[in-house]
Amino acid sequence: MFSLGGSETGKKILAAAAPNLTPVVLELGGKNPAVVLPDANQQLVAEKIARGRSGNSGQICLDVDYAMVPANQLTDYIHLIVEQLEQAFPTYSDNPEYSAIINDAAYKRITGMLVEAQQRGTQLLTINPNHDAVPDATKRLIPLTLAINSDPDLQIAKNEIFGPILSIFTYETLDEAIAFINTHEKSLAMYVFGKNKAQLNRVIRHTSSGGVDINELALHAGSHEMGFGGVGYSGMGRYKGGKVGFETFSNPKSVYKQGILAKYTTRFMVPIHNQRNEKRFKKMLGL
């Protein structure tokens, strides 16, 4: 059985499969982090994260859920990301390029996150250059929004957003950023931007996720050597990619045909009743 969806739905599918011992491959989601190192190309990072997060209104399992940026670069990244989002979507109403939220339940969940964050004093930046009448419950349109350093106990910080909201958190040291990531469940993907190899490797070694991209988004999902999948809360099993995908959805069956040793293996492998057979058996095994 194969399922693609959210982690909570994955739990139900796994529970339903258990009584029948049905093998399951789960490709789930999670809070995919983007760790931006101090030496990263700011313009390129902002473009990739902003454009990637706004695709399908953030309803893509491999989207960046939250970005971690150096504290002294926060203002720069906010400015650059807002600039990118305004260029990508100057308007929402009647814009065929901007996606609606998939259903009413998802719309209420995402807007509920925003209301909670606003009530708790989170800095929210709504990208709405044309001043459209959004959020729009009828059309299920939610404007692209940045949430800056929200409290860790808020839904927007704890749960996968899967919508047009990008959380941005700041860090002073790389160890602080790694520790923050490890407070969350393991994600389907993690993205690291920067040039310093030692720092890149440190992030990769000290965190766990289904896959990692360095200075890019989501391209690891096309790997034909390892396949694609999550780990822990973000899924189990790997699929896609030639041999990996074939083996995932196949059941290898071993077949052994005995040759000239047939009479000896039966004779020596049945219960041993005397020392002579015991010696022969040990000799055959090299004991």
Among 8, 27, 160, 216, the one annotated catalytic: 27
116 annotated active-site? no
**Residue whose token pair is 């602080």:** 176
278 annotated active-site? no
Could you please report the per-residue DSSP string of the chain? -EEES-HHHHHHHHHHHGGGT---EEE-----EEEE-TTS-HHHHHHHHHHHHHGGGG--TTS--EEEEEGGGHHHHHHHHHHHHHHH-S--TT-TTSPPPSSHHHHHHHHHHHHHHHHTT-EEEEE-TT----SBTTTTB--EEEEES--TTSHHHHS---SSEEEEEEESSHHHHHHHHTTSPPBS-EEEE-S-HHHHHHHHHT--BS-EEESSSSGGGG-TTT-B---GGGEE--B-SHHHHHHHT----------TTHHHHHHHHSPP-SHHHHHHHHHHHT-
Among 8, 61, 97, 116, the one annotated catalytic: 61
Give catalytic residue positions: 27, 61
